[in-house]
Structure 1
Amino acid sequence: MRLRLAVTNYLTEARNVTLALSEESPYTTVSPANAALASIGSGESIVLDNNFFFKVGSAAPSNHPIDFTLSISAGGYTDTDHFTLTVLPAFANIGVNNIYTTVTNVGRIGSANPGGANAGIGFLYKSGANLLFEGAIIAGTSANRIVNAARGLITYTGAQENDADFIRTEEGDIRITTPGSLSDQESITSFSDAGASSPLNIRITQQTFASSDPRYADLLFLSYRVHNLSGEPIDRFHFGLFCDWDIDAGSYNTNVAAFDADRRLGYACDSGDGPATFAGIRLLTPGGISYRAIINDNADPLNPGWGLHDGFTDGEKWEAISGGVTQSRVGPADISNVIASGPHIIPAGGEITIDFALIAADNLELLQAAADSAWMFWLTSLQTGPITPPPAVWALEANYPNPFNAETTILFSLPRPTPVRLDILDLSGRLVRRLAETTLPTGRHRLLWDGRDNQGRSVAGGTYLYRLQSDGEQLVRKLVLLR
């Protein structure tokens, strides 16, 4: 790296000036370390543009501070100046439209160190207040094989740890290009899961794309290219983004997290007197999707499941990124949400790409319009090949919403055309409602249950089973009806 130094003489003219640069970092070497000036007049400034260079070793950690000392001598006069440079930054701030945020090379969004100082700006819309307390990648193949950068367990002291499984690669310096080749501003970095206790052996290349075109001013695109470094295929791979939103940081207990199934859009807003801003993430990559809205406080009486105040376990993370659409709406409360793509198979030495759009708007209608624009921009400007849906698998997904009151959606997939039967049962196994008994084509299918039995009568609230039968096999899951 090259150092550019400006030297100003505030005293009388000096001749035969010698400058020597030194540092004490174990990861840094200065070469050359000396420079000379024949003279510098009183009040004169001279820029040393190509005199000092330093090299940072590959073992240097991210955000590494280097303390430099510049020694100056001329005749009998000596002086020293001290300055500090931070190299290999773990984050950089980006934005050319209405969205400003921080990208990192440690798998986090908005901040390299959630809750820490000088680690990022969060997620800003129209230069307003930060809307995002924490954003992070969660990926895995099972509850025992999770790699992520989200919050983790509670320590014995009561503090909540942040998982830090992703480590910058040698090529992982964050590079920002304005304009870029596909949009008005782009960034790129890479990191691996080498910091995990049970790594999947993946390298992630993260890219962002932003346009200053007014049609796309409320969008920022995130693209993750996941490369399998191992010699074996990675099966049942799920990849998602976790966000702890604080739409009104002064009273975030009035936030709501929700899901727009048609747009594959998870979002958050404030139901109280806070800003009218809506913020969310659309999954652009076709195929399976999981979404979970979370109330962070376990003790909140509105909490329909687990929360995060007692820690965010790997089992909970796996459930969130692989369980289908489970809790589609929660709040008002202190909320988070997770939106994920999968399952995927990554061949040995191969790669897949998973794309999202970060979106913000002044109301829900505008947020949905921006989500539609995100799809069109991705399709026409960022998608480089034909969209081929992944092969269908025999699967029964989690219904949504769950629990529900008026009606709930049940999704299932078939690997080939086949006769199917989908039934609602009570916990004793007795038939309550037959939703389908027909032959359906290959692919993903959707059915609704309105909480009524085969005679059209409303059934009592409680836990029910829904069962998919086909080709002599069956899959069963639970749902909860509220009355």
Structure 2
Amino acid sequence: FDTYSKYNDNASTTPIGVEVEQRNYAWSTAPNKKFVIWEYVIKNTSSVTYNNLYTGICADWDIDATTFANNKSAYDATNKMGYSWCTNAAGKYAGIKLLTSTGAPVFHAIDNIAGGGGGYDIYSSGYPTDVKYNTLRTNRLTAGGAATGNDVINVMSSGPHALAPAQSVTVAFALIAGDDLSDLQTSAVNAQIKYNDIFSGITESSKEINFVRMFPNPATHSLNFELKPDVDATIEVYDAIGKLILKAEKKNSFSINTFDWNRGVYFVKVKCNGDLFSFKAVLN
């Protein structure tokens, strides 16, 4: 299962000028059914350079909603994963793992209690913008210091990123559930393997593809291909998990009906004259 969305901060009262393409991926079979992948491609649409940009996910974990005050948090540096667990008998685990290496991992565990447990007191004072930024960029590796824990919030982020105008950066996370810490860590490893398989197995070509044009992109109900005259090309289309869904040997121009295809990201391979080119297509 995969989804795609695109949005910006134009409607904000204090926009900084970013455009985000978000892709989410989930699987229903082992060993990949205990995590989902969230990928963000963040583009600087402003006219200024940002040198200290952080990207992260904030999770107010209530692992067992009936005993949300019985949670603790810690950090697994090996897996670049901040996580929390319920201290009840047979309590479950949940974590957020950084999958990309475009920025350093940062984990900030918040005690969501009056006084903040020695950290930021967002329970009493709210979560203003400056505190959000500070929790994105500073480490606090544990929370839930009481014997049975307390209500906790986790911020897992990546940065700092430097983005000049029109530049983009890709940041991806896995949101993971586990029956215990070992189970959580196993799924963290599997999430990294799956992400690497998807995005290193089929990558976009840096060469100019001057003999074939694909349009529109993003598309809705069809993908159109325009080949130069007398060019023979083999075109393969893969879904987000790397499954081949279409292979065609074509000349001239043609269209593919995508009306029944799932919305999301697809990868197109074009083979011609001994060269191989790859690029992404998006169906909205």
Segments of structure 1 that go 5 or more residues without pairing to the other structure are: 1-184, 387-483
2:16 equivalent in structure 1: 200
Query: Is 1:283 aligned with 2:79?
Result: no
Write out the 4+ residue segments of structure 1 that deviate beyond 6 Å after TM superposition.
Answer: none
Letter in 1 for 2:115: A
Indicate if the aligned counterparts of 1:298 and 1:306 stay in contact, CA closer than 8 A: no
Deviation at 1:328, TM superposition (A): 3.1
2:211 equivalent in structure 1: none
**Alpha-carbon distance between aligned partners in 2 of 1:327 and 1:215, rounded to the nearest angstrom:** 28
| SS of the residue 1:217 aligns to | coil
Q: Between Structure 1 and Structure 2, how many residues are aligned?
A: 198
| SS of the residue 1:215 aligns to | coil
- CA RMSD, aligned part only? 1.8
Letter in 1 for 2:100: T
**Alpha-carbon distance between aligned partners in 1 of 2:4 and 2:128, rounded to the nearest angstrom:** 30
**Alpha-carbon distance between aligned partners in 1 of 2:199 and 2:170, rounded to the nearest angstrom:** 12
CA deviation string 1:433-452 (max 9, x = no partner): xxxxxxxxxxxxxxxxxxxx
Segments of structure 2 that go 5 or more residues without pairing to the other structure are: 205-284
| SS of the residue 2:69 aligns to | helix
Query: Is 1:359 aligned with 2:176?
Result: yes
Q: Where does 1:77-476 land on structure 2 (aligned, <5 Å)?
A: 185-273=1-89, 276-286=91-101, 287-299=103-115, 303-310=117-124, 311-323=126-138, 325-331=139-145, 332-383=149-200
Indicate if the aligned counterparts of 1:225 and 1:352 stay in contact, CA closer than 8 A: yes
**Alpha-carbon distance between aligned partners in 1 of 2:158 and 2:73, rounded to the nearest angstrom:** 19
2:252 equivalent in structure 1: none
Letter in 2 for 1:270: C
| TM, length-normalised to structure 1 | 0.39
Indicate if the aligned counterparts of 2:95 and 2:176 stay in contact, CA closer than 8 A: yes
**Alpha-carbon distance between aligned partners in 2 of 1:328 and 1:252, rounded to the nearest angstrom:** 16
1:449 equivalent in structure 2: none
Deviation at 1:314, TM superposition (A): 1.6
**Alpha-carbon distance between aligned partners in 1 of 2:36 and 2:3, rounded to the nearest angstrom:** 11
**Alpha-carbon distance between aligned partners in 1 of 2:70 and 2:14, rounded to the nearest angstrom:** 38
Deviation at 1:385, TM superposition (A): 5.0
| Bigger helix share | 2
Indicate if the aligned counterparts of 1:257 and 1:268 stay in contact, CA closer than 8 A: yes
Indicate if the aligned counterparts of 1:258 and 1:293 stay in contact, CA closer than 8 A: yes
Indicate if the aligned counterparts of 2:98 and 2:172 stay in contact, CA closer than 8 A: yes
| SS of the residue 1:214 aligns to | coil
Letter in 2 for 1:328: T
